Structure 1
Amino acid sequence: MAIRKHRAGELVIEQTRDFGVVRAMLARGGLMTDGIEWPAACYIVAYVGDAAVGVIGVESKIDAALIRSLYVNESMRRRGIGGALLAAARKAAHTRGARHLYLFSIGAGEFFERHGFKMVAVDEVIVAIPGIPQVEYYRARPEELAREAAYHLDVSGDGVIER
């Protein structure tokens, strides 16, 4: 349930600490839920009305962050919700000091590339942000890590006013 009431049909993106909502959405999408309670993690939920329809996580550390677990309900895809969640996560990462944004993906690489991410070696992510729950999960499971693709986006210029 949303923290506050939303208007019917209105898309609202907001940060949450309601791990029940986050866990249920990630499980619905078949995504990993291990480590979501990590104190430095940030989760952002998309609501249409009061129904949670999408979620994304950000795990940040020093000057880098990992986008974790973007999921949008199947019936709500192709409406810009994933892009709105990604934009909110990018902003959340930048405000937490991240200059570099990384992610792992098996099947959504084209989506992330449309949003400016470039494919990088998986080891680059492992070296850039050790200690992050999802990174440590994969480090302990090299056979799963071998199936992942990794992506990077430089966000150091986000919010900078150029003259």
Structure 2
Amino acid sequence: MAEINERKLRGQEKRASIEMRVDEVLELLLEKPNLIRVRRSDLWRKVGERYGVSDRQAKKYVSWAFEKLAEITEKGLADKLKLSILDRESIIRRARRSGDLRSELAALKDRDALLGLYVERHEVTGKDGGEIQAAVTVSIERKIVHGQPGNLTSDLPRESE
């Protein structure tokens, strides 16, 4: 029974040691963001040399550190969004109390934009604000369907200048 407990304890110590190393790799990435941009193989080599582990284990440490980094940034982004929305809510309440409808409306629009309630629209126009030519001639259609090489736009009508 004592032997099983010792084995279990060693496994827990090993797990704690690995977590500590992954946290150190994460801190290294946060302190030196340029390491995020280097080739992963260089990063694996540095981690392997630092901890005296195999390439495979170094890859795992780096992978786990990047997973933690992703969790932190996602959580950080969500927290920032919440704070921004709370700021807008505070502005809305103050504007309502003071009767400032313009400020209230502006804060409402800004809050709703943060929440993604507005769909961005981009109107596309042709030359000089005119319509875009969207007609496909029969000869262009044949070239596309039959995979005929050549200049597809040669059959388009030319605008007179």
Pick the TM interval, shorter chain. Answer: under 0.3
- Tell me the TM-score normalised to structure 2 length: 0.22
- Tell me the TM-score normalised to structure 1 length: 0.22
Which structure has the larger Rg over C-alpha atoms?
2
Greater share of helix residues, 1 or 2? 2
